[in-house]
């Protein structure tokens, strides 16, 4: 696990990730960008082609419909039908009427392949139904169906059309109708042209994608010819308008969906060729990386593990082929040899130091002897009636017992720590008398709280020795309280700190080693070192000027869990 909490990855996995990022990802991006550009180019090209083809198709349709309009107008302008109709009104000869009109229709439209049939529908019952069909159309079902079902619909719709040309769709067929007027400009018949829808379909079929032709509300699309539905109006991306005076002719189209592999089959082979070329290169790269990097690093990791397990002086025998790793190997071997030598020297030094300490202890006076001696002197003072001397000896004995730490307790109740402070202050008050004023602000609920032994007495001693003795007295306040999960001990006394004192205190509290220049602050430095050892960063000692004429020492550390 890394220091930031993230899981560590092996060099091999990082190599795979690097290869994917530096090789595979760029290739995928190149293919994706190329596909996007090809698709964009394809769509632009298809759009240009569609625009050109749509314009050509619209011109074809305009020509086709304009010719139909001209043919329908010619029926009126030629006057053949009108003359035959007048003759029938005078003599009632239906046979003559039929021959005249059918002959005219056959001559005018019989060879026109653009119409399936052309009909003349009279507004009054004349007993005949003139028509002509294209040469490719046979049978009688077409005129019969027209007479029975289509003609009534068209005549009803043409009553208000005057000479306007209109379009109709019946059973999927497209009809063009125009009224014929007599000399009084009243409609007496309608010429109806049944357009060959195949001509329109063929013209639209040449366009790419999905198309729809709209002619005065009639729609011709893939579903055939039908009435316009508003719900399909927005389904096409391109809109073209034809030039057909008096009529609406529009062509809507949408491009077919682009399938890059279907429309460009060579691209799949190109991608496969790139993959077959890249994979061997990736394999060669991984093998080279394993040979020149991974294996030497694994050897180095194994060597450090051996060194960590106590095999000091372990040497890496392999010789890597890269200059950088050779240097690392040499440095490691040199470090391992030096570590072995230092360890051996350290063992010898520790043995010598241990022997020196034993000799030093042998030369010291037994502290228990001093304590027993103080007890004898105390009894002698009591027998002599000198209570003051006896009390001072008892206070000194209490402080000596605290320093000896016979029971080996690292932490003691606060009330016991305060007893050591009281013993020290009793002796100091014998020196300073009533000039030393002592105040206590102790939270009674904290008397049983565990605190490090002799954590408060050195702070009191520092206050007395640094300021109160020089002032021949002053105010000394001792406080103890809780702040959340922390214990706070404070010693505040009358005094001042010079700039030199502040620099000395800062150096002392930030130094981890003994400094002879700070010998006058041994107790304070000892408190700081013990807080660091017991609590780490959670323990703190501060010493500052709290007021114009007062100095505050504060100790803060986590409260012991019950």
Q: How far is CA 117 from CA 47, 155, 156, 242, 470, in A?
A: 37, 17, 20, 26, 134
Q: How many C-beta atoms lie closer than 10 Å to residue 188's C-beta?
A: 19
| pLDDT (tens digit per residue) in 501-552 | 888 887 877 755 444 344 445 678 888 888 888 888 888 999 888 888 889 9
d(CA 53, CA 253): 11
Q: How many C-beta atoms lie closer than 10 Å to residue 549's C-beta?
A: 14
Secondary structure, 3-state, 106-150: HHHHCCCCCEEEEEEEECCCCCCCCEEECCCCCCCHHHHHHHHHH
CA 408 to chain centre: 58
Q: Where along the chain do the CATH 3.30.450 domains lie?
A: 44-254
| pLDDT (tens digit per residue) in 195-208 | 876 666 666 666 76
Cβ partners under 8 Å of residue 256, min gap 6: 46, 208, 209, 210
d(CA 398, CA 473): 24
Least confident piece of the model among 128-142, 187-201, 342-356: 342-356
User: Sheet of 210-215: strands edge to edge?
Assistant: 224-227, 218-221, 210-215, 249-254, 238-241
DSSP helix/strand/coil, 458:
helix
Which residue has better confidence, 481 or 239?
481
Which residue has better confidence, 214 or 482?
482
> Bridge partners of 544?
552
Q: Would the pLDDT of 368 be above 60?
A: no
Q: Would the pLDDT of 479 be above 90?
A: yes
Which residue has better confidence, 474 or 404?
474
Name all contacts of 538-542 with Cβ < 8 Å and 24+ positions apart.
Answer: 541/509, 542/509
Per DSSP, the chain holds a count of helices (H) and strands (E) of 18, 17
Least confident piece of the model among 190-194, 241-245, 356-360, 402-406: 356-360
Mean pLDDT of the chain: 77
| pLDDT (tens digit per residue) in 63-80 | 888 888 888 888 888 888
d(CA 540, CA 529): 10
What's the confidence (pLDDT) of residue 14?
A: 66
Name all contacts of 356-360 with Cβ < 8 Å and 24+ positions apart.
Answer: none
Q: What kind of architecture, by CATH, is found in domain 44-254?
A: 2-Layer Sandwich (3.30)
Looking at residues 365-382, what average pLDDT do you find? 56
DSSP assignment of 297-346 equals HHHHHHHHHHHHTT-TT-------SSHHHHHHHHHHHHHHHHHHHHHHHH
Least confident piece of the model among 250-254, 268-272, 533-537: 268-272
Looking at residues 212-218, what average pLDDT do you find? 77
Looking at residues 161-180, what average pLDDT do you find? 84
d(CA 303, CA 88): 123
Instruction: Label residue 376 by pLDDT band (50, 70, 90).
Output: low
Of all residues in the chain, what percent carry a pLDDT higher than 90? Answer: 7
Instruction: Label residue 365 by pLDDT band (50, 70, 90).
Output: very low
DSSP helix/strand/coil, 159:
coil
What's the confidence (pLDDT) of residue 518?
A: 41
Q: What kind of architecture, by CATH, is found in domain 439-558?
A: 2-Layer Sandwich (3.30)
Q: Would the pLDDT of 481 be above 80?
A: yes
What's the confidence (pLDDT) of residue 157?
A: 86
Q: Would the pLDDT of 269 be above 80?
A: no
What's the confidence (pLDDT) of residue 219?
A: 77
Cβ partners under 8 Å of residue 454, min gap 6: 402, 403, 417, 420
Which residue has better confidence, 513 or 83?
83
Among residues 551, 533, 411, 414, the alpha carbon closest in space to that of 482 is found at 414
What's the confidence (pLDDT) of residue 380?
A: 58
Which residue has better confidence, 136 or 442?
442
Tell me the H-state helices in 364-456.
367-383, 387-404, 414-432
Q: Where along the chain do the CATH 3.30.565.10 domains lie?
A: 439-558
């Amino acid at each position: 696990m890394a220091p930031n909490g993230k899981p560590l990855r092996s060099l091999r996995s990082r190599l795979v990730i690097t290869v994917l990022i530096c090789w595979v990802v760029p290739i995928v991006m190149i293919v994706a960008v190329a596909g996007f550009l090809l698709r964009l180019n394809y769509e632009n090209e298809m759009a240009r082609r569609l625009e050109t083809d749509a314009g050509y198709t619209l011109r074809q349709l305009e020509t086709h419909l304009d010719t139909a309009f001209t043919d329908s107008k010619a029926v009126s302008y030629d006057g053949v039908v009108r003359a035959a109709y007048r003759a029938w009104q005078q003599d009632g000869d239906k046979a003559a009427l039929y021959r005249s009109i059918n002959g005219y229709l056959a001559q005018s439209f019989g060879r026109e392949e653009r119409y399936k049939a052309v009909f003349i529908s009279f507004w009054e019952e004349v007993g005949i139904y003139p028509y002509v069909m294209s040469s490719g159309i046979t049978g009688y079902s077409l005129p019969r169906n027209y007479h029975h079902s289509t003609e009534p619909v068209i005549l009803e719709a043409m009553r208000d059309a005057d000479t306007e040309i209109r379009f109709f769709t019946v059973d999927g067929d497209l009809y063009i109708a125009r009224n014929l007027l007599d000399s009084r400009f009243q409609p007496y018949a309608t010429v109806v042209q049944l357009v060959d829808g195949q001509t329109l379909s063929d013209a639209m079929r040449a366009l790419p994608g999905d198309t729809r032709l709209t002619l005065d509300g009639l729609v011709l699309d893939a579903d055939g010819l039908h009435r316009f539905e508003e719900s399909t109006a927005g389904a096409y991306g391109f809109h073209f308008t034809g030039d057909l005076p008096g009529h609406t002719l529009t062509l809507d189209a949408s491009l077919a969906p682009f399938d890059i592999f279907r429309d460009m089959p060579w691209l799949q082979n190109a991608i496969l060729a790139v993959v077959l070329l890249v994979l061997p290169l990736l394999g060669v790269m991984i093998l080279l990386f394993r040979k020149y990097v991974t294996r030497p690093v694994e050897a180095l990791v194994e060597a450090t593990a051996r060194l960590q397990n106590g095999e000091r002086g372990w040497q890496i025998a392999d010789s890597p082929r890269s200059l950088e790793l050779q240097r690392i190997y040499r440095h490691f071997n040199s470090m391992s040899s030096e570590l072995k030598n230092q360890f051996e020297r350290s063992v010898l030094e520790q043995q010598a130091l241990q022997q020196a300490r034993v000799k030093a202890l042998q030369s010291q006076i037994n502290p228990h002897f001093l304590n027993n001696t103080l007890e004898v002197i105390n009894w002698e003072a009591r027998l002599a009636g000198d209570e003051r001397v006896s009390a001072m000896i008892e206070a000194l004995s209490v402080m000596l017992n605290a320093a000896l730490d016979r029971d080996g307790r690292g932490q003691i109740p606060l009330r016991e720590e305060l007893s050591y402070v009281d013993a020290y202050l009793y002796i100091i008050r014998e020196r300073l008398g009533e000039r030393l004023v002592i105040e206590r602000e102790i939270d009674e609920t904290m008397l049983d709280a565990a605190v490090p032994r002799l954590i408060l007495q050195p702070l009191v001693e520092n206050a007395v020795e640094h300021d109160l003795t020089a002032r021949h007295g002053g105010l000394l306040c001792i406080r103890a309280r809780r702040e959340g999960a922390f214990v706070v001990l404070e010693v505040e006394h009358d005094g001042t700190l010079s700039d030199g004192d502040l620099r000395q205190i800062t150096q002392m509290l930030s130094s981890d080693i003994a400094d002879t220049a700070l010998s006058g602050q041994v107790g304070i430095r000892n408190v700081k070192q013990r807080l660091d050892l017991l609590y780490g960063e959670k323990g703190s000692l501060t010493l500052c000027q709290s007021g114009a004429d007062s100095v505050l020492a504060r100790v803060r550390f986590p409260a012991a869990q019950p």
